[in-house]
A and B are shown apart, each in its own frame.
Chain A
Amino acid sequence: MATTSQWNKTLAKKGWYKRNEIAVTPWLFLVPGLIMFAIYVVFPIFQSFRISLFKWDGLGPLATHGEYIGMANYEKLLTRDRSFNISLWNNLKWLIFYLASIPAGLFIALFLNQTVRGIRLYKSLFFFPFVISQIVVGLVFTWFYDPQFGLFNGIIGFVGFEPINVLGDPTLSTYGVIAAGLWPQTAYCMILYLTGLNSVDPEQIEAARLDGAKGIRMLWHVILPQLRPATFIAFVVTVIGSLRSFDLISIMTNGGPFGSSRVLSFYMFEKSLSEYGFKMGYGAAIAVILFLIMMVFIGYFLWRMYQDEKAEN
């Protein structure tokens, strides 16, 4: 008994902080990060929602220079804006075709998953495109497609086709840019799968081999289920990457020809910050729609992660 009261006394002497140390410390550690994140990420999301209800050129404060117009921006976007439609469709094309980088990455990973001499160097060289900036990738591919001297036309000319100006053709330009994007993205998926293949259980493979499984059947029934975490991450980064595409479009086509290769992220930038005028309210409305589309995927990812967390605890 005496010891408890003594214990309490020393605790009381230690002061408020010492007594609440375990409860207070995490918040002290969180504060700097939370403040920065709130100022630059969380609040701006809400501000964008608000701005999207205004007609505003961004040159003066929103309160005095903006004109409140309710849902008018959205109404115009969804009913009368052809460019918005094209951008949305292109986003869909990006989303679908970009996913090709997942099987492509798996394929290269399987090809490289050997232990011959120099394989480490080969793996890094295959990963190379992911490390260089999309700006350089964009430039490289612009030249690759060049109708005059591009390697691409050199190759199809060799096979006997007429030269094509991929980026100058409204029906092809988006696909040309997506193909350029697939290059680094495939490299990314490849490295995820290479790491995944490292941790595949060798005993299960041996057991399956004894059962006579090999090739595609082995891949499908034994390997792929074990690669599920890698596939999930590859899916996350590819979907997010496809909806974020901006740099390549900006460098390779600048949205053209005739706006045919715009996506929402690029169209938003064009509306709010380019020579076409500072339509910040309208731009914010485009951003909100893109945000809502992405939230569907983000919600799904978070839900999956939440399931994992629950399973762990």
Chain B
Amino acid sequence: MFPKPIEKSSRAWQLGYQALLPIVMLLWLAPLLAVALFSIRPDSDFLVGNYWGWPSSFEMIKNYSMVFGSAMPRYIMNSFLITIPTVIGAVALSCMTGFALGVYKFRGNLLIFFMFIAGNFVPFQILMVPVRDLTLDMGLYNTKTGLVLFHIAFQTGFCTLFMRNFIKALPYELIEAARVEGIAEWRIFWYVVLPLMKPAIAALSVLIFTFIWNDYFWAIVLTQGENAQPVTAGITSFNAQFRAMYHLMSAGSIIAALPPVLMFFLMQKHFIAGLTLGAVK
């Protein structure tokens, strides 16, 4: 292990390290903690300039219920209705493409694989005008469906990279054994490969959930107004509505950030596996 395990150093070092950890962490998260502190202050604190002192009263419930009384729940709901179908769609499509590219040898295999990877890295702006036009032409502008369709298509690039590498690392003998038994190829996919992909599916789902939840660019390109916009875009109009009311803007930001954070803490193992498994072989 590197650096040298702290247990092997002197008692003083160990205590020093243990004391340093929370301090460094507080510094690292200071900007966020400041917002959390803002979100429980009464608005009078901001008027008298009491930004950093002890709050004159704790208004957590009042501030947060103000947020829930606004359009915020709508935006959050939209975010869920956009994110969940995207996760299902992208994972389903990439299980199939990953299977095709990871199991079969055929001409063009690597070319298609690299096309998916390259597509996943292109700047959004090169797609913006045509995708917006296409969405308008299909009558899906300013709908959640329009956003979902695009997200599924785009995320398929990254998901395919991930799934293909995962499937390629599975023992190929399993598939050969199934073939010798005369099992149809689609059954091999369904009964042999898919059950083995559960960890990859979990990891990818958590990751895509976070990516899509946090998307802002496509939300403002393909939607406007509260009937379709997700919370990342909604928070800017929320902030315009409550301009300079920092206690409410802070509470709103915290609520908007919460679902992916919860997802991360609940599914931490999968999340980190997702970030690294597709990448670091």
Mark A residues whose CB is within 8 Å of B.
21-23, 25-30, 32-34, 36-37, 39-45, 47-48, 51, 58, 110-111, 113-116, 118-119, 122, 124-129, 131-136, 139-141, 143-144, 149, 151, 154, 183, 188, 191-192, 195-197, 200, 202, 205, 214, 218-219, 222-223, 229-230, 233, 240, 243-244, 246-247, 250-251, 264-265, 268-269, 272-273, 280, 283-284, 286-288, 290-291, 294, 297-298, 301-302, 305-306, 308-309
Total contacts A to B, CB within 8 angstroms? 275
B61-81 contacts to A (CB < 8 Å): none
Check if A114 sits within 8 Å of B17, measured CB to CB.
Answer: yes
**Which residue of the partner chain A has the closest CB to B109?**
A26
Residue in A51, A140, A247 whose CB lies within 8 Å of B35: A140
A229 and B97 in contact (CB under 8 A), knowing A33-B156, A39-B153, A116-B18?
no
A291 to B125, CA, bound (A): 8
A144 to B101, CA, bound (A): 47
B232-281 contacts to A (CB < 8 Å): 232, 235-236, 239, 246, 249-250, 253, 256-257, 260-261, 263-265, 268, 272, 275-276, 279-281
**A309 surroundings in chain B (CB, below 8 A):** 110
**B132 surroundings in chain A (CB, below 8 A):** 273
Q: Report the minimum CB–CB distance from B45 to chain A (whole Å).
A: 10
Question: Which label, helix, strand, loop or mixed, suits the secondary structure of the A interface?
Answer: helix
23 contacting pairs across A/B (C-beta < 8 A) = A26-B109, A30-B96, A40-B134, A40-B153, A44-B127, A45-B127, A48-B127, A58-B129, A125-B28, A132-B261, A133-B213, A133-B232, A135-B232, A136-B256, A183-B31, A191-B272, A192-B279, A195-B275, A243-B123, A247-B217, A247-B232, A291-B123, A294-B123
**B116 surroundings in chain A (CB, below 8 A):** 37
Check if B2 sits within 8 Å of A205, measured CB to CB.
Answer: yes
Residue in B28, B52, B123, B276 whose CB lies within 8 Å of A287: B123
